Amino acid sequence: MKLKAIIGGKIWTGTGKVINKGVILIDEGKIIAVGPDIKIPKNADLIKAEGKFVSPGFIDAHSHIGLVPEGLDWEYSDVNDFSGPLTPQLRAIDALDPYDIAFKDAISGGVTTVYTGPGSSNVIGGIGFILKTNGKIVKEEAALKMALGPKRERGVKSKEPYPTTRMGTVALLRGIFITTKKWLNGEIKGEEEKKSQYENVAKVLKGELMAKIHLSTSPDEIRAALSLIKEFGIRASIDHVFGGDLLADEIVSSGVPVIYGPPMLARSYSGFKYMHDKIPVILDKKGALVALMTDHPVVPQKHLRLLASVVVKNGLDIDKSLKMITINPARILGIDQQVGSLEIGKDADVVISSDHPLQITSAIEMVLINGEIVFEKSILQERG
Amino acid sequence: MIIIGGKVFTPFKMVSHTSILVKDGKIADISDVNNFQKKGEEIIDASDKYIVPGFIDPHTHIGVFPLESENGDHATELSNPVTPQLNVIDGLDPHDSAFNDALKGGVTTIGILPGSYMSFGASVERISIVPGQGAIMKTNGELIERYAFLKIAVGEHPKRFLSENKLSPTTRMGIISSLRELFRRGKEYLVNSEGKYNPELEAVLPVLRGEKCLRVHVHTSRDILSVINLAREFNLKIVFDHATEAYAVKEQIGDIPIVYGPPVFSKRGTELKNLDIVNLGKMKGLMFSITTDHPTIPIQYLILLAGLSVSEGFSYEDALSLITIKAARVLGIDKRVGSLEIGKDADIVILDGEPFDPRTQVSYTIINGKILYKGE
């Protein structure tokens, strides 16, 4: 691939540094230099960004893109498999529709890296993965999705009954953790049919795979999640985290990161009464590591930056909010060595916009993934 | 009351160092502050702020899907798919906290409609064919018009509602035919209702007389075209709501008003496959405003939706018009609200920064000359 140089833009690196009239040099899809005084090699293709804002590609820490393809009817949804409350053997990547039109839209919204995975109908839903919105897989197994809160049978023949209370859900989780531990220690034998379940749960217990713990609605589930995380010493994020403001101190002292959202939902269900868009602002102020989610298709993934603007509207500093869709999700997902900021050695995933991307009036003009231009706002579009 | 400006954004133009005199709930003057008698007047210093008209959302379900509600659907009658006699006000919760959210977000006038909203949780929207009558309210609780319009729905969403409730008709043909039958019977009733009282047909008469408009829940271009034909057949006034594919049939739509959106929603099902914020740019030339469809998008974020139109090529004036004067025109109340002009209701929002900057907060929301919300 040819050398590229993005020149003249205001570079928001994501490390706290902003470089006016900076240069980013890209080779083989990676950033090889970034700064104010970079010598531009003669053979480099120039991308002129004078007067533009240059930021890292946005990262959606929790979505279902590619699993519920847009523009198709519900028969095409492959998010929730009701074969039982514990389905750790499922892998979301096996259901990926790489032709989901939402990927193209997401790119036009500056989203370059996403986590996508199973839904929350099961106590353990399966393994989610991380990919670039151009289709390139980043991590085939990124997190084991778990979901607290009561569960419902959906009128299909499930292998085991679903727990109907919050207690029941936690008990089932604790049970599978303990059983898997025993299985790892060779204390349990002869359950051949459950081997594929134990294997995937074991990855979490051994620290090879993080858990993504979904809360249904209420803050008591945060306590349950925190205590499970502590009890079994697992790596995890707490997702949605409605009511998180009420338990902010406990979350912060646990060190467990959270993924709020999606913002911009109305409290139209009784279960949503603990949801409000000041939660990420409060948690950030207290010192928690916070990322945002679209939960696509709940909110279309391309509008991830709008959701970050919503959090600004609720009082968060505009640059802190931008971190919640760049470096923070990269850290939470454990991919911050590769993406999330504009630094030497990282993937050249870059968004060029007409102004700070959380200014809703700004337009995204160019997006690069691994150094390749994947979106360019056409002049035709600009003229409307 | 005197509001010392500030930048006044009317939304037709932006003028600096201009002040507003409010008397008896109306805008009495817009001029240099030195022209006003200050004695005895309540003074609001907005000299470093932006002053804009109160925002208007013509399509919400505020008060009908109350926040933190108990189970049950307050806005979709299941007993019959054709219920023009229902009025949304009869199911309204005046204590829905969305009214407060609206005030905090600078929204002063809303249309309230029965029927479904685009639920983020459910897979596909469901709505009956004629959910009932909608109203216009100010967010201070003042009812402007109880029966302001009659809502109908066509396309895949009523089809879904009907099939799930094991009701007929089951096709687009059947839905249009049900509507035609309603209007045909209404016409006969209009000519001769002696010895009869039919609440359903009574409710249709104002529509047939052209006094009230039909608000049409519609997404696809095919359904837009069918409804244009039906409206022509009975000489009905219509407004298209959602109108996802309106950009594709602009010529046929002509000057029919549209409440477009919400423009931020996923392409849920084939019915919404062409829903995209980029289509806002293609809507230029049509007579339209935009909506949150609250609770689809919470009402307080209406200003953000307007701001997004700038990123799709609209001017700041056009963007603000989408949630002020154009929304007032769609509701037919533009003589009274929707802009900062002498003689109009003093529905005024004072902002502490540029209207579309997400950091900007509402400092004051004023309705009929009274402060209903004051920011920190």
A74 and A36 inside one domain = no
Residue B217: per-residue pLDDT: 97
Residue A382: per-residue pLDDT: 45
B28 and B126 inside one domain = no
Q: Output the average pLDDT for chain B.
A: 93
Residue A153: per-residue pLDDT: 79
Q: Which residues contact A155 (CB under 8 A, 6 or more apart)?
A: none
Tokens for B280, please give them.
């806002």
Residue A189: per-residue pLDDT: 78
How far apart CA B39 and CA B45 sit, in angstroms, is 15
Tokens for A311, please give them.
């959090």
Chain B residue with the nearest C-alpha to that of A297:
B266
Confirm whether A51 is domain-assigned.
yes
CB within 8 Å of chain B, chain A residues 71-110: 71-74, 77, 101-102, 105, 108
How far apart CA A146 and CA A122 sit, in angstroms, is 7
A247 and A366 inside one domain = no
Residue A51: which domain range?
A: 4-55+344-383
B351 and B236 inside one domain = no
B249 and B373 inside one domain = no
- Could you tell me the pLDDT band of residue B118, with boundaries at 50, 70 and 90? low
Please state the domain count of chain B: 2
A11 and A87 inside one domain = no
Residue B68: per-residue pLDDT: 47
List of E strands, B154-196: none
A95 and A241 inside one domain = yes
- Could you tell me the pLDDT band of residue B74, with boundaries at 50, 70 and 90? low
Q: Which residues contact B8 (CB under 8 A, 6 or more apart)?
A: B14, B15, B16, B18, B20, B30, B51, B340
Residue B38: per-residue pLDDT: 87
Is B71 an 8 Å CB contact of chain A? yes
Percentages helix, strand, coil for chain A (3-state, rounded to 5) are 30, 25, 45
Residue A381: per-residue pLDDT: 46
B255 and B109 inside one domain = yes
- Predicted confidence (pLDDT) at residue B329 exceeds the cutoff of 60: yes
Is B376 an 8 Å CB contact of chain A? no
Supply the angle between the helices B221-234 and B172-191 in degrees, to the nearest 10. Answer: 20
* Chain B nearest C-alpha distance from A206 (Å): 35
B49 and B64 inside one domain = no
Sign of the torsion angle spanned by Cα atoms A140, A146, A152, A158: positive
CB < 8 Å to A296, chain B: 266
A373 and A292 inside one domain = no
B330 and B372 inside one domain = no
B125 and B211 inside one domain = yes
* Chain B nearest C-alpha distance from A77 (Å): 9
Residue A108: per-residue pLDDT: 97
A372 and A287 inside one domain = no
Give per-residue pLDDT as tens, B152-168.
999 999 998 898 888 89
Sign of the torsion angle spanned by Cα atoms A258, A262, A266, A269: negative
ipTM for the complex?
0.93
Residue B290: which domain range?
A: 55-337
Domain of A278, CATH number, reads: 3.20.20.140
A14 and A85 inside one domain = no
- Predicted confidence (pLDDT) at residue B65 exceeds the cutoff of 80: no
Residue A157: per-residue pLDDT: 83
Give per-residue pLDDT as tens, A127-147.
999 999 999 999 999 999 999
CB contact under 8 Å between A359 and B357, yes or no, is yes
A76 and A110 inside one domain = yes
Confirm whether A338 is domain-assigned.
no
Please state the domain count of chain A: 2
Domain of A350, CATH number, reads: 2.30.40.10
Residue B73: per-residue pLDDT: 58
pTM: 0.95
Q: Which residues contact A50 (CB under 8 A, 6 or more apart)?
A: A7, A8, A9, A21
pLDDT less than 70: residues of chain A: 1, 190, 270-271, 379-384
Top pLDDT among B77 and B351 is at B351
A123 and A259 inside one domain = yes
* Chain A nearest C-alpha distance from B104 (Å): 11
DSSP-derived 3-state class of residue B72: coil
Residue B123: per-residue pLDDT: 58
B111 and B143 inside one domain = yes
The kind and range of the H/E element at A183 are helix A166-184
The count of C-alpha atoms lying within 13 angstroms of the C-alpha of A35, restricted to the half-sphere facing its C-beta, is 7
CB within 8 Å of chain B, chain A residues 1-60: none
Give per-residue pLDDT as tens, A290-349.
999 999 999 999 999 999 999 999 999 999 999 999 999 999 999 999 999 999 999 999
B72 and B204 inside one domain = yes
A315 and A360 inside one domain = no
B371 and B317 inside one domain = no
Is B93 an 8 Å CB contact of chain A? no
A30 and A73 inside one domain = no
Is B119 an 8 Å CB contact of chain A? yes
> Which of B117, B299, B313 is the closest to A382 by Cβ?
B313
Domain of B21, CATH number, reads: 2.30.40.10
Residue A383: per-residue pLDDT: 41
Domain of B149, CATH number, reads: 3.20.20.140
B348 and B201 inside one domain = no
Residue B165: per-residue pLDDT: 84
Chain A residue with the nearest C-alpha to that of B62:
A268
DSSP-derived 3-state class of residue A285: helix
CB contact under 8 Å between A266 and B71, yes or no, is no
Whether the CB-CB separation of B245 and B191 falls below 8 Å is answered with no
Q: CB B335: neighbour CB atoms within 10 A?
A: 12
Supply the angle between the helices A166-184 and A220-232 in degrees, to the nearest 10. Answer: 10
B158 and B284 inside one domain = yes
Confirm whether A339 is domain-assigned.
no
Give per-residue pLDDT as tens, B178-221.
999 999 999 999 999 999 999 999 999 999 999 999 999 999 99
Top pLDDT among B5 and A74 is at B5
A367 and A306 inside one domain = no
CA-wise closest residue to A92 among A115, A59, A74, A111? A115
